[in-house]
């Protein structure tokens, strides 16, 4: 299995470190100074895509036309989901995508899903989310926080919309507030609250480092090697 890294930031470097440890071959590394070129033929099996929301669709289009399977860790492209899925079908390739490749976070999604279903039975509980990341993170809120919010929206009938900015007014009971804080070297902490007059239930996922993300990414790459189809990470774990 030969891999290419698309994006060589902190996550790309962590995946490279993990691959070196596991004796997995990386044949190509692409970044802003060395972008993918549609006219070139590349010798790798799977591209690991951790670039930017501004470049991902162009990258995926080039890769799909070259019949390369892809693992997508970049976020904020989900409005183009139908387009990317159709690329997968038209070019007979395999794609695995997720807003967060931590196996622990995938389990956390399941926990929040079940908790939301339970709290949907009690209208005196409110729910909200906060997340903290390092000062180099470029998006806010995180894609993971929005995924958690969408789980709650899906399972708690009283919550209709996600509010992820400073609203400067009283929040409506139908709104789910997602707050973000950036600073220091915190890899990522996501807090989900279910609060009532009587008590608070707080569920926390705290990433200690980027190793878990790299492990999940390579697990996805091994899964999609020589396979076809469009998968979310959840599809291949549970």
DSSP 152: H
Q: Which of 76, 80, 110, 137 is catalytic?
A: 137
Q: What is the DSSP string of 85-128?
A: HHHHHHHT-EEEE-S---HHHHHHHHHHHHHHHHHTT-TT-EEE
110 noted as active-site residue: no
Q: Which residue has the tokens 């919010």?
A: 149
Angle at 82 between CA 133 and CA 32, to 5 degrees: 50
Within 13 Å and on the Cβ side, how many CA atoms surround 104? Answer: 16
What CA–CA distance (Å, rounded) separates 32 from 12? 13
Read off the tokens for 21. 């440890």
CB 80 within 8 A of CB 103: no
Angle 116-161-176 (CA atoms, 0-180°, nearest 5)? 55
For 84, which DSSP code?
H
Reduced to 3 states (helix: H, G, I; strand: E, B; else coil), residue 151 is helix
**What's the Cα-to-Cα distance from 178 to each of 66, 75, 130, rounded to whole Å?**
39, 17, 6
Cβ-contact 27, 44 below 8 angstroms: yes
* Catalytic entry in 133, 159, 177, 190: 133
Residue 68 bears catalytic tag: no
Enumerate the active-site residues: 133, 137
């Amino acid at each position: 299995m030969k891999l290419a890294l698309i994006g060589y930031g902190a996550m790309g470097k962590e995946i490279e470190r993990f691959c070196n440890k596991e004796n997995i071959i990386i044949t190509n590394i692409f970044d802003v100074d060395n972008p993918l070129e549609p006219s070139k033929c590349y010798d790798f099996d799977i591209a690991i895509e951790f670039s930017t929301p501004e470049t991902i669709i162009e990258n995926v289009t080039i890769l799909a036309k070259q019949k390369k399977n892809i693992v997508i860790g970049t976020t904020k492209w989900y409005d183009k989901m139908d387009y990317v899925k159709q690329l997968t079908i038209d070019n007979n390739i395999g794609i695995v995508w997720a807003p967060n490749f931590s196996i622990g976070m995938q389990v956390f999604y399941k926990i929040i899903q079940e908790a939301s279903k339970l709290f949907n039975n009690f209208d005196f509980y409110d729910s909200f989310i906060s997340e903290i990341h390092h000062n180099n993170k470029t998006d806010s809120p995180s894609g993971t926080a929005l995924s958690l919010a969408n789980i709650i929206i899906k399972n708690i009938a009283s919550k209709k919309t996600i509010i992820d900015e400073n609203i400067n007014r009283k929040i409506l009971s139908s709104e789910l507030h997602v707050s973000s804080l950036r600073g220091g070297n915190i890899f990522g902490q996501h807090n989900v609250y279910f609060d009532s007059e009587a008590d608070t239930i707080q569920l926390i996922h705290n990433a200690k480092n980027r190793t878990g993300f790299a492990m999940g990414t390579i697990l996805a790459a091994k899964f999609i090697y020589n396979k076809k189809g469009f998968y979310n990470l959840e599809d291949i774990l549970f």
